[in-house]
A and B are shown apart, each in its own frame.
Chain A
Amino acid sequence: MKSEATMPQPRDDGADLPIGGIPRSARPRASVSLRQSPGASALAQHIEMLCQLHPHVVTSNRRQDVAAMDEATLRLLLEDINAALGIRTT
């Protein structure tokens, strides 16, 4: 099938154009169903998602109930997970 991309395109940086409208059945399949704990802090929910996406990563504290951890413990756990996964932020 000839792609429309091979046809001449108007000069447009594309940044203004919308994305969307693909039926759910035609979208990339979800390979994990991410559970989120309602009521948990946003940081706890982020760490829960990290743990679900990377079940093989072993760090201290990760077997505990993340939703019940205080902010300081959550920060330490996040540092451990980020270090294990090579995630660096400015």
Chain B
Amino acid sequence: MNPLLRTQATLKSAGGRAVPVTFGDLTPELARDHIDRAWWQSVPASGTPQEDRDWNWEHLTREELQAPGTFAMFISETLPAIDGAMLYQIGVASILEPTARAAYVAFVAVAPQNRRSLFPDRGLRGVGEELLAQAVMHAYLLGLGGRTILESLPAAEGFYERLGFTRTRQVVERLARFELRPPEALQLLRKRGLIP
């Protein structure tokens, strides 16, 4: 993991309790053992459809890490259990400012037990947002102004807009592509106390 990124944070549980969490490097082996073999074991497939239920994180992590400038990160309340994971790439072309570069968030998922839609009364809250903030911070630390690009599911668009993301004109696989510009990125990082 980048040595300048924080390795710890505090989230809240569904009941409002403060919960310390740790960030670390996601390897294909960790993904296999603590995501692919763990996340969906006790979640019936008949419930609310989950877009990522069939993702193979071991394969994804192995494949993505072959691309230069790609990073894989997990967040965990109690190691080695994994509460969320993210794969992102540094150095893609910005959409809103074509001469600039950005981070691109290729994959993020929150462990099923932390999804409000599945378990409204338990689990951690804010796991996905915490991971995204790490990608934004990495883009900031590498002089990219925190520019960050991602595609959003329709139901999450309002969430990204509230975080400060701007909808671009690009639609990929029926998903709108969003970009966080430097002013909003700095605002997000300041709000979290990551930059002065």
A residues in contact (CB < 8 Å) with B: 1, 3-5, 7, 9-10, 12-23, 26-36, 41-43, 46, 49-50, 53-54, 81, 85, 87-90
Contact of A15 among B50, B60, B129, B193 (CB under 8 A): B129
How near does chain B come to A46, taking the closest CB pair, in angstroms?
Answer: 6
How near does chain A come to B165, taking the closest CB pair, in angstroms?
Answer: 11
CB pair B155 A9 closer than 8 Å:
yes
Chain B count of residues within 8 A CB distance of the other chain: 67
Chain B at the A interface: mostly helix, strand, loop or mixed? mixed
**Listed A/B pairs (7) with beta-carbon separation below 8 Å:** A16-B114, A19-B151, A30-B69, A30-B89, A85-B143, A87-B140, A89-B141
Residues of B within 8 A of A49 (CB): 69, 90, 142
Count CB-based A-B contacts (< 8 Å). 169
CB pair A20 B128 closer than 8 Å:
no
Which of A1, A12, A14, A49 is most buried by chain B, counting CB atoms within 10 A of its CB?
A: A14
Contact of A9 among B1, B144, B157 (CB under 8 A): B157
Residues of B within 8 A of A3 (CB): 171, 176
Smallest CB-CB separation from B100: which chain A residue?
A31
CB pair A46 B141 closer than 8 Å:
yes
Smallest CB-CB separation from B140: which chain A residue?
A87
17 further A-B contacts with Cβ under 8 Å, apart from A18-B50, A19-B105, A22-B106, are A3-B171, A14-B155, A14-B157, A16-B114, A17-B51, A18-B108, A18-B109, A20-B55, A21-B51, A21-B52, A27-B92, A28-B177, A42-B3, A49-B69, A87-B140, A88-B195, A89-B196
